[in-house]
Amino acid sequence: MPLTAEQLEEESVARIPYFLANQCIPRDPVENVRFRKWIRHWVGMDLERQQLVRSACGHDPIFWMETFGWVHEPRGRQVRRRPLILWPHQREFLQEMYERRGERDLGAKKSRAQGVTWGIEYVVYHCVEFEDGGIVIMMLSRNKDMVDKKGSQDSLFWKLRWIREQQPPYLRSPWYDVDMLVKNLLNGNTVLGGVSSEDAGRGGRHFFDFPDELSAWGVRASHELMGSLDLTSDCMFPVGTPKGIGGAFDERIMVDKPKMDVMTLPWTRNPSQTVGLYRKRNGRVEYLDREFWSTVKVGWVRKRYHYVKFADGVSSHDPAVYHYPFVEEPNPPWDGLRSPWYDHMVNKLDNPILRARELDIQREKSGDIIFDVEKLKKCIQDHPKDPYHVGMLKFDASYFGIMSQRRLHYGTGDDMAGDVPTFAMPKWDEAEIGEWSLWFHLDERGRPPSARTYIIAADVSFGTGASNAALAVVDVERRRKVARFKSATTDATELAQITFAAARWFGSADDLEAMVIFEKQGPGITFGKNLLEYGHSHFFRSRTDRSLAEDIGWPSSREGKAHLFREYRAALFKGYYGNPDVEALEELRQYHWQQDKSHNSQVVIFVPLQTGMMLIEGSKGRPTAPHGDLAITDILAWHALKGVPPKDTPRDERADYVTGQGDFQPHTPGWRRQQYLRKHRAGRNDNDMWN
């Protein structure tokens, strides 16, 4: 016997969960609203039907969201209340999140405007309404106003309350609702609010935690918070857009090997943002959305995406495909995929850092990078990559033992002035693998060219393997790095011996030993004392009104190091300093600026790309993580180099040169000559090498 119309309706509603599994819920906005009206009309005041629909919603959260969910959209002049129809990547993320709730972590890195926060709020409401009683969920943000502020549509709790207001009575349990807390009075499920604090969540146990936009919390605050939450719950769902290197979001989610499972939600999977998708390669455009480009007019694109600029004189009635400014970039993100929406946003942001954060989910480019990645690549391409020689510099170490004994005898008052030994010239030993790399050809003596002047910059380590001891040797006349030493097991005393030997080996006819510059802090103090003890006398000096023992080395500080980084960046990118050391150039990619709020200044931070650990450059004490030792030697080398006059500078002007300052004393012959050269070069290049 055939079923009646009423029985058919009952059968269809009873199979509501089946609709989702077979993609039967209409996702066209108009049809979806009709479906919602039909469900509500059919349920009416019938308690059995209400219980049936409630059971279906509790069983399948996606069905509930797309049948009873709405979103508040304050942008534009369109309808503010819109039906929640999930995009494919949203549906995948929320389904995965729901399956992991209470048991396993899941992070999300995303482009901006992917609706992730609204989706997670719906999962929170679903758990509060339908889960078995007694669970506690914590929602957190970077400050209290972002968590719960009366009347603020940006706060997390406002969204949660708004979701509840849109539900029919049979999907809306009574709540106890106060500031930063809501509680379901029927099952006891609770939502707590929290802010970025090292004590957030301590003393409680949570079903899951939701730290919203974790990347915006700051490095220290995010680490403290996540350390607190790790012990309060087995499940958390941190989400955000990248914001540079450093911080818990970067370390746990953005690194190549994240500490938790991560899903990516890019704009390229958002149907509303990929309208008109295209790709341009080698001057040819590939139309991936052919239907769009075959129908759309210039006027429609101008009205919808007004930051996309067409050529002057183009009529609004012309087909857009003939006049659209299709974009082709070198090394583009997303394999070159673009759309009018993407072009509109790139032009609107007009900032590569914001673009990397909000659109492209690019870790390295999303922070305040000190050295532009593309410019570094050009530096690598402009110089030879492989050294001409690799090996060891062999020398007689017995000299240093004798000099140390002299120091001990001086302490007893004995006179050993006649016992000064002679230091034998070191010899080069070629090898396939060695601590030294040379970017020059040895002369007939087996030494560096004697017609040059050299500077040696040192970065001293404790020799424990945590970081490298490094030396950089630069050619003063060519303004170019010509040698490098690197070892992770060389301590300050050993490095002083190697530096002393290298200073003699690189010594020129004018200077019997090369100048040495190093950081005067930590192990650098021991390094400098040992060099003095061994008899080295040619040091970089920041001041000349003190004795040699008091004034050797560069006095490091956070502000001073930031200044040196700016100087070196300008010299490197303008071609004033040649660096063929690819490894040292690669280290520069890992240096970022960070705002020091306590001093209202910028400090330099170094974070290894693979680990996410952060080290503030210029901080005192023992290193806590591997850092860019080779890059530091290059920066120190340039600082000393710019204060040394070129060899062709007239001898009567050399005395006027201020070592370490890169300039001559005012109103001296050298100063007048330099002023003339600057004025003469101004028409050709506004930035000569002494600026």
pLDDT at 513: 86
Best CA proximity match to 66, nearest among 27, 100, 105, 34:
27
Sign of the Cα torsion 63, 68, 69, 71 reads positive
pLDDT at 646: 58
Alpha-carbon span 176 to 172, nearest angstrom: 12
pLDDT at 686: 35
- Strand 454-459, strand 469-475: pairing: antiparallel
**Concatenated DSSP letters of 126-154:** HHHHHSPTT-EEEEEESSHHHH--TT-TT
pLDDT at 368: 73
pLDDT at 176: 93
Domain limits of the chain?
Answer: 1-79, 86-265, 269-362, 428-648, 661-691
Task: Please answer whether residues 469 and 461 qualify as being in contact, where contact means their C-beta atoms are separated by less than 8 angstroms.
Answer: yes
DSSP class of residue 215?
Answer: G
CA angle (268 as vertex; 265, 274 as ends), nearest 5: 135
Cross-strand partners of 319:
297
pLDDT at 544: 62
* Residues in contact with 586: Cβ distance below 8 Å, sequence separation at least 6, in sequence order: 376
pLDDT at 658: 41
pLDDT at 290: 93
DSSP class of residue 251?
Answer: I
Q: What stretches of 612-675 adopt beta strand conformation (E)?
A: 615-616, 657-658, 663-664
Helices 116-130 and 156-165, packing angle to 10 deg: 60
Phi-psi region of 283 (alpha: psi -120 to 50; beta: other; left: phi over 0): left
Q: Beta-carbon neighbour count of residue 81 at 10 Å?
A: 10
Q: Which CATH class is domain 86-265?
A: alpha beta
pLDDT at 615: 41
Q: What b/e string do you get for 615-653 counting C-beta neighbours within 10 Å, with b at 16 or more?
A: bbbbbeeebeebbbbbbbbbbbbbbbbbbbbeeebeeeb
pLDDT at 613: 39
Task: Please answer whether residues 318 and 298 qualify as being in contact, where contact means their C-beta atoms are separated by less than 8 angstroms.
Answer: yes
Alpha-carbon span 493 to 537, nearest angstrom: 17
Residues lower than pLDDT 50 in the chain: 1-3, 5, 7-9, 12-14, 17-18, 20-23, 409-418, 510, 609-626, 653-664, 681-691
Best CA proximity match to 64, nearest among 88, 39, 82:
39
CATH topology for 428-648 is Nucleotidyltransferase; domain 5 (3.30.420)
Alpha-carbon span 18 to 30, nearest angstrom: 21
How remote is the C-alpha of 174 from its chain's centroid?
45
Alpha-carbon span 493 to 401, nearest angstrom: 11
Tell me how long the chain is: 691
How remote is the C-alpha of 581 from its chain's centroid?
23
